[in-house]
Copies of this chain bind each other. A is one copy, B any other.
């Protein structure tokens, strides 16, 4: 018998990180974690059905990169206009970057068909 893996996850959270800040990997991981926690609680409160389904599938998270602040804020604007959960992270700037630097944006969890059209073309963070 041959098993074929089929990805059946229908919900995801996207975390978009600014590429122009040259953050260390540890800093990116911390900022992405801020966004993920922020989005998860926002979704649990205001998008309960999406949140529950996303969690039951394992809580898929995809980390992508955007070129700069303008692209990040554009993405936030579009996601909000489509009524998706969003959470923008502004860093206190105690370590690598100046205070009040916007570093990343969480979108979702939301159904793939709503998230993919606005984030599907963004490159994965490698």
Contacts and interface: CB of A to CB of B under 8 A. Distances in A.
Interface of A: 5, 7, 13, 15, 17, 24-30, 32-37, 40-41, 58-59, 61-65, 92, 94, 124-126
Given A32-B33, A33-B15, A40-B40, A63 B7 contact: no
Copies held by the complex = 2
A25 B125 contact: yes
Contact of A36 (B33, B63, B65): B33
Given A25-B125, A36-B37, 15 more contacts: A5-B94, A15-B29, A15-B33, A25-B126, A26-B65, A26-B124, A26-B125, A26-B126, A29-B33, A33-B33, A33-B36, A33-B61, A34-B61, A37-B40, A40-B40
Contacts of A15: 29-30, 33
A64 B36 CA distance: 18
A105 to B, nearest CB: 13
* 5 interchain residue pairs of minimum CB distance: A26-B125, A33-B36, A29-B32, A25-B25, A26-B63
B34 A32 contact: no
A65 B37 CA distance: 21
A40 B36 CA distance: 10
